[in-house]
Amino acid sequence: MTNLLYRTILMSTPLLLGSVAEVFSERCGVMVCAIEGIFLIGAWGGFVGTYLTHNAFIGIMLAILCGTALSALYAFVTVTLGQQQVVTGTALNILAAGFCAFFQRVIFGVPTSPLVIDTLPILRIPILSNIPFIGTILFSQNIITYLAYLLIPLSYYVLFKTSLGLKIRSAGENPVAVDTAGINVTKLRFLTVLVAGSLGGLAGSFYTIGYVGMFTTNIIGGRGWIAFAICFLGNWTPYGVLFGTLAFGLADALSIYIQAVSTSSYFPREIVIALPYALTIILTVMRSNLRVPAVLGIPYKKDN
């Protein structure tokens, strides 16, 4: 039980980072549909950086850099050029998959044994980690998890209590008004997507550096899309997505746990694998009172 909850927190970390990234960009009017590719390239960057330098910090930095670079391309096409976001996202997801697989081969050739890196060490918070039960679950995690949880109040503060947050939210509700107020909507959206990309890259690196210690091209397996979905289900608020990620983290942890335990071949363990995806559909269909940002997905073109 403790182990399961510990894993829930562990598995919800990247989803949390990814969905907060989406909250920012979607509040601003841009859906980052390349999130799956950003996760993947982050996972790859994190792996390569850590493997080559034996330094997880450099790995994380490279992951953030890769995620930001891909989101810059995404922002250029969707924000600057105003192209279809879903379509661009699909293209960049394929591009990222090909890019990672290709350069993995360029850098490492065909390895005879699997390439492995050390996963991030567990940081025990003094005193707090000694609390029974809660200490093991909440305060014996790795650094990225702590960062992800600090991000929730921080992003709430930025989005709802600062003038920057007001600008971001207004750009997703009424970009004309924001433009009239003398703020460059394109620039604002571009920068927000870059921030989202860096968070997405960090999220991706969690899978390689923080969890598996290896890189495979199917390591993300749709979790970027799940982060995308959680943003919708969490009603575009940081605290909303926190609940969402915990639910999906639990589903993810359960699925890994049951796969490890089940031995009977007729037991449909695929049900458990499909659980997070089914949950997404069910919740998307059930929730109809969503407060969608008014111009979500619509490119802003200045009339001149």
Partner 1 sequence: MAERNTSFNIILYNSVAVIIGLLISTGLLAFMKINPFDIVARTLSKIFADKYNIGEIFVKATPLIFTSLAFAFTYKANLFNIGAQGQFYAGSIAAVSLSLLLGGRVPRVLLILIVFITSALAGALVGGCIGIAKAKRNANEFLVSMMSTYIVNAVMDYLLRTALQETKAEYMQTDAIVPQSYLSIIIPGTRVHSGFIIAVLAAIAVWIILDKTILGFRIRAVGMNKHAAELGGINTKLIFVISFLIAGGLAGMAGVTEINGVQHMLLRNFNSSIGSFGIGIAILANANPIGCIFASILFGFLNVIGTTMGRLPGTAIPASLVELIEGIVMTCVIIATALRVYMGGKAEKQRMKEGGEA
Please give the residue ranges that form the binding site for partner 1 (CB under 8 A). Answer: 73, 77, 81-84, 86-88, 90-99, 101-103, 105-106, 109-110, 217, 221-222, 225, 228-229, 232, 265-266, 268, 270-271, 273-274, 277-278, 280-281, 284-286, 288
Report, in Å, the least distance between residue 61 CB and partner 1: 22
Q: Could you give the angle at the alpha carbon of 155 between the alpha carbons of 150 and 160, nearest 5°? A: 140
Report, in Å, the least distance between residue 114 CB and partner 1: 16
Q: Within 13 Å, how many C-alpha atoms sit on residue 242's CB side?
A: 13
Report, in Å, the least distance between residue 134 CB and partner 1: 33
Nearer to partner 1, 84 or 129 (CB): 84
46's tokens: 């994190």
**DSSP letters of 45-59?**
HHHHHHHHHS-HHHH
Report, in Å, the least distance between residue 267 CB and partner 1: 10
Report, in Å, the least distance between residue 101 CB and partner 1: 3
Q: Is 264 helix (H, G, I), strand (E, B) or coil?
A: coil
Report, in Å, the least distance between residue 249 CB and partner 1: 17
Nearer to partner 1, 139 or 236 (CB): 236
Alpha-carbon span 94 to 77, nearest angstrom: 15
Cα 116 to the center of its chain, rounded Å: 23
Nearer to partner 1, 47 or 139 (CB): 47
33 Cβ contact partners less than 8 Å away, ≥ 6 residues apart: 85, 86, 88, 89, 90, 93, 228
Q: How far is CA 80 from each of CA 74, 191, 236, 242, rounded to the nearest angstrom?
A: 9, 11, 24, 31
Nearer to partner 1, 138 or 229 (CB): 229
Nearer to partner 1, 114 or 121 (CB): 114
Cα 200 to the center of its chain, rounded Å: 4
33's tokens: 């549909």
Report, in Å, the least distance between residue 115 CB and partner 1: 15
Alpha-carbon span 250 to 183, nearest angstrom: 42
Nearer to partner 1, 54 or 105 (CB): 105
Nearer to partner 1, 106 or 127 (CB): 106
